[in-house]
Amino acid sequence: MTTIDLTHPVADGMPVYPGDPPVTFRGHAIYQIDGYRVTGLSFGSHTGTHIDAPSHTEEHGNTLDDFPISTFSFEAMRIDCRHLGARDRIRLAEVPTATAVADVDMLVFHTGWDTHWGTDAYLDHPYLDVAVAEWCADHNLHVGIDAFSPDPTPSPNEAAGEPTDSPAHHALLGHDCLIVENLCNLSRVLDRFHLDAFPLSLADADGAPVRAVARFD
């Protein structure tokens, strides 16, 4: 069994979605004074590699603790979208047939954009056309992506006509299809793999960081 970590480490000053709380680490106790070490952490619920709950965008949506823990263990199919460029739409032509996804419960869109992590270019990732998100919701498929969002992220490079109201989020989360964002290392997994993305156990959570781990034979 091969195991691959698909998680960006949570680190002081790491990239966050525009407008989200910054990530800060603060030394609370140090060896030289206290004889032990404790670090104070401050970050948002959608920090780093994380999972979105329906309550993230849906007023009356479920929170993460409304789902059984088994929900966060997925049979995933990787969709290779690395041929797409900055701020390109991922269209229905990229999506397999319904028959091909009959034995999976998540589509993971591999844009290759994790190579831009920590740079301004990371804002300009490809994103899902709303028709793709609706197709996934119609087939009860959760979604993962190696980018900030399945919707376009605000950027100085955004173009006229891009959606600004998070339609992919609404299409998916409105049907209890979860979203895992900011994955990495997808070039190291097979097209079919098992993804564990267990969130921090936060009460009433609209989202939470995960340790995303791929496993395959």
Token pair listed for 51: 């999972």
pTM above 0.95, yes or no: yes
Type of residue found at 181: E
Average confidence (pLDDT) per 10 residues, the chain, 217 residues: 98 97 97 96 98 98 98 98 98 96 97 98 98 98 98 96 95 98 98 98 98 97
Q: What does the alpha-carbon distance between residue 180 and residue 146 come to, in Å, rounded to a whole number? A: 9
Q: Judging by DSSP bridges, how do beta strands 179-181 and 2-5 pair with one another?
A: unpaired
Residue 164, token pair as written in the block: 């600004």
Domains and CATH numbers, the chain: 2-6+44-216 (3.50.30.50)
Distance CA 15, CA 122 (A): 9
As given in the structure block, the two tokens for residue 74 are: 């997925």
